[in-house]
Structure 1
Amino acid sequence: MTHDPRRSGHAVVVGGGLAGITSALELADAGMRVTLLEGRPRLGGLVFSFRRGELTVDNGQHVYLRCCTAYRWFLDRVGGAPLAPIQDRLDVPVLDVAHRNGPRLGRLRRAALPVPLHLAASLATYPHLSLAERASVGRAALALKGLDPADPALDGIDFATWLGRHGQSARTVEALWDLVGVATLNATAAHASMGLAAMVFKTGLLSDPGAADIGWSQVPLGELHHTLARKALDSAGVRTELRTRVSAISRTEGGSWHVDVPGERLEADAVVLAVPQQETHGLLPHGALDDPGMLLDIGTAPILNVHVVYDRKVLHRPFFTALGSPVQWVFDRTDASGLTGGGQYLAVSQSAAHDDIDTPVAELRERYLPELERLLPAARRAQVRDFFVTRERTATFAPTPGVGRLRPAARTNAPGLYLAGAWTATGWPATMEGAVRSGITAAGAALSSLGRPHRHPLKEAV
């Protein structure tokens, strides 16, 4: 790519996940010359697709909520919003297969009423909790609404302890709080920071009636986060180099930066490190953070995805979640994958999968196929065409109590060097939303330090 004389100043973004793509687009839109470096042969980070025979497979099922304003901006920016629509209203089928009278279906749905009445009718008729447990949920929700998720004291305790103090039974935690919390936090209540849990439930369920409406991609994730993102980067004038791993970054005597890649040394006025915390730690120059070792103290949490292709349709809704079963959330990915021939492709998303992440495929098959038959009677008559597993051992940072004090801000002690990634101090758990917010924040900090105007796409995102 030739140099565009209309652009001045050079920024290098290291990492082509959602955080890096966002930073690169924001910097380029502000008039900077931008180079994006990604070690993988694709963009998208941990949100990607791959081919398996005739199927296009997502590495995992990813959803977002209407309150994810930064990710929705990202979809608009790359031209992908029509491909990832949102429910008109929150509607989550919840199937309890351990009910004493046999499998029982309940639903978490919202009404067209203001908060908190929008969920009152659904909670009042939720069959998986007793009348007393439903009443206790209302009292706990009111207590949550009065909390400040940014309060450092909340970061130091776990969500389960807080729920216990507010009268939530083990059944209530399983059938409601963990049903939502495990999927959004990638941790059970006992292992989740109260601060992050408060942020999730207060923002998603208690801020706006439509905040928790669910959206998901109707096409392979790679189409959004690689193909369309690459097109947007190219249109913005960003030089994007794949299969290009950074070996070192260093500050010059003149105050600019050197970024070393095989066969080339790039000079930059600003550098955004948008890679995982362990990789960031390895690239940070001395003194960039007061205590860089804290990055290594930010743990990781796994997500397992079980993929099953049946010879016929066994699920007649887009998704559901389960109680009384190892199965958590099940999604129909038939159309998005390109499957033809009358079969159906289901993706089983298992968050906080510490116990299963290294289990052999044969054992997972023996465990999950009978569970799917319990949940979906039609599966008992179906043939399994394919069964495979995808594993993300470090899918997210672990949202454990105390993690908030470990997450760094975008600005470092080294002028011109900035950090981005869902693991940085966004206030959000490890989500696509958090990644995009971090990229906006890092780009804004870089432009501010360079004295350049920056019109943030979402004021609330920074």
Structure 2
Amino acid sequence: MAEHTAVVVGGGLAGTTAALALADAGLRVTLLETRPRLGGLAFSFRRGDLTVDNGQHVFLRCCDAYRGFLDRIDASDLVTVQDRLDVPVLDVGGARPRLGRLRRAALPVPLHLAASLATYPHLSLAERASVGRAALALRGLDLDDPALDAVDFGSWLSRRGQSPRTIEALWDLVGVATLNATADRSSLALAAKVFKTGLLSDPGAADIGWAARPLGELHDDRARTALDKAGVRTLLRARVTSVTRTDAAEPVRSGAAADTRGSGEGGVVWEVEAETGPGRGERVTADVVVLAVPQQEAHGLLPAGALEDPGALLRIGTAPILNVHVVYDREVQRQPFFAALGSPVQWVFDRTEPSGLTGGGQYLALSQSAAEEEIDLPVAELRKRYLPELERLLPAARDAVVRDFFVTRERTATFAPAPGVGALRPGTRTRAPGVWLAGAWTATGWPATMESAVRSGLQASRAALTALRHPFDPRPFEIEGLEPA
């Protein structure tokens, strides 16, 4: 029996995961990535002497697939995970700044958060009591009920006695950061997934993790090493232009493009063409093609008839994330991160050590989700908006000198989690035999997170191997209970 071959288009987390899983199963895999690096939208770049992440990415202890991915690429030593959930929340909207904390105790669910909520200073006593009732209602929802997708989370919360202040100071504090949308613009299905899995499943599920080194060291360097060891042929700066069906018995057309034949034993195989430079190209044929690219790109590459409604991919909206980067000449923040209320600032992270900053200064990164109104503002205007806010939040910043101020913008950072999006998200399977979809935007049941991306890659590889009647082994990723494709 001839060796099975695969082409994975896209070197983000979904594509890298799929390539590794297919290679681990014994397939000969080629990975094609347009950019000069791996990692998709979770990457690093150099700015002078600093190594800068394009945005602050976090994960939770319950993100089993992403944590398994880190194990698979031998990068678990490059991340930090809290021993217990602990989120400082600073409210500067009143007469005096007030600091509260959302943290868990060593108690079973839901008692693990009860003490924290009972003393949370940013809500009234009545509002705190109402949270418990809404949490119990949320816990009772069936995540497999398709009707949840049509309901917006904000209306659902309001009907369960959640005041605007409660939504702002608690539900949106978590939801905006994980869903990239406010409650009124979020599908109840996705919101319920976040809160049930993260806060209402296991006491430690919501413990927060983040990269202690630049993301590029994880998702590019370590991932590339893992791919090389697995025997994956990785081509960067390779822009795929077409995916076409061909007969394995036919000779491949001659031309300027390089050629790597598939092994379909005379059956149907797929021919993937990519531009690799001026006047240069690559032509790869394989039994399996995994399209692990954004939905708009997938729409342009899918063979005709591959989806019943290919236009649905274009109706999946996108949502931006803005990141504001500030380098001070001294330390102004002692916590590794905190969340803010009563301010346009959402979350502030200390990135001093991972960036390689030396000389006694401090580098802070502000992560601003659901940033539709700010994503295109000039840097000068953002500077006028955020530097005074940081001085309100961090008194030590008032006497500090700003060494550098810059922004990074991801205009299509995630898919928009709007009500109804679940009906638009396709599964991994297509009508084109051998062609599969992967990406955080596919039907993983999760919002657009690193966890969703990795799960999609695992689902696509498992489905492809099943179609080839080849066993799928999740053990290299240490994932249990992976959802069916």
Q: Shorter-chain TM-score category?
A: over 0.9
Paired position in structure 2 for 1:259: 272
Count the aligned residue pairs: 456
Hey, what does 1:403 align to over in structure 2?
Answer: 421
Match of 2:170 in 1: 176
Rounded to whole Å, the distance in 2 between the matches of 1:31 and 1:364 is 51
Give the Cα separation in 1 of the matches to 2:367 and 2:482.
Answer: 28
2:198 is aligned, of 191, 194, 204, to 204
Q: Distance in 1 between matches of 2:207 and 2:82?
A: 6
Choose from 344, 358, 365 the match for 2:362. Answer: 344
Decide whether the 8 Å contact of 1:7 with 1:32 is kept in 2.
Answer: no
Aligned pairs (5 A) from 1:100-249: 100=95, 102-249=96-243
Distance of 1:82 and 1:266 partners within structure 2: 36
**Rounded Cα–Cα distance in structure 2 between residues aligned with 1:186 and 1:432:** 13
**1:105 partner amino acid:** L
Per-residue CA deviations over 1:232-285 (Å, capped at 9, x if unaligned) read 000000000000011100111331110011323211000000000000000011
**Structure 2 matches for 1:358-373, cutoff 5 A?**
358-373=376-391
Tell me the SS of whatever aligns to 2:273. strand
| Aligned ranges 1:300-319 → 2 under 5 Å | 300-319=318-337
Other structure's SS at 1:247 match? strand
Residue matched to 1:391: 409
CA–CA distance in 2 between the matches of 1:210 and 1:264? 47
Aligned to 2:257: none
**Cα distance in 1 for residues equivalent to 2:74 and 2:322:** 29
Counterpart of 2:46 in structure 1 is 51
Q: Distance in 1 between matches of 2:481 and 2:372?
A: 34
Distance in 2 (alpha carbons) for counterparts of 1:306 and 1:366: 12
Please name the residue that 1:12 is paired with.
Answer: 7
For 2:85, the aligned partner's letter is L
RMSD: 0.9
Say if 1:11 and 1:270, in contact at 8 Å, map to a contact too.
yes
Task: Normalising by structure 1, report the TM-score.
Answer: 0.98
Gaps spanning 5+ residues in structure 1: where?
Answer: 1-5
Matched with 2:261 is: none
Shift of residue 456 of structure 1? 2.3
TM-score, length of structure 2 as denominator length: 0.93
Work out which of the residue numbers 32, 47, 50 in structure 2 matches 1:37.
32
Match of residue 3 from structure 1 = none
Cα-to-partner distance string for 1:274-299 (whole Å, 9 max, x where unaligned): 00000000001111000000000000
CA distance in structure 1 between the partners assigned to 2:393 and 2:311 by the alignment: 45
2:454 is matched with which residue? 436
Tell me how far apart the structure 2 counterparts of residues 99 and 115 of structure 1 sit (CA, whole Å): 32
CA distance in 2, matches of 1:325, 1:226: 35
Q: Secondary structure of the equivalent of 2:239?
A: coil
Deviation at 1:150, TM superposition (A): 2.5
**Rounded Cα–Cα distance in structure 2 between residues aligned with 1:459 and 1:308:** 41
Q: What letter corresponds to residue 334 of structure 1 in structure 2? A: T
Identity of aligned residues (%): 75
**Partner SS, residue 396 of structure 2:** helix
Check the 8 A contact 1:333/1:346 in 2, yes or no: yes
What does the per-residue CA deviation read over 1:400-453, in whole Å, with 9 as the maximum and x for residues that have no partner? 000000000001011100000000000000000000000000000000000101
Distance in 1, Cα, partners of 2:284 & 2:401: 55
**How many Å apart are 1:8 and its aligned residue?**
1.7
Instruction: Report if aligned partners of 1:56, 1:337 keep a CA contact under 8 Å in 2.
Output: yes
* Paired amino acid for 2:363: Y
Aligned partners of 1:7 and 1:31 also within 8 Å: no
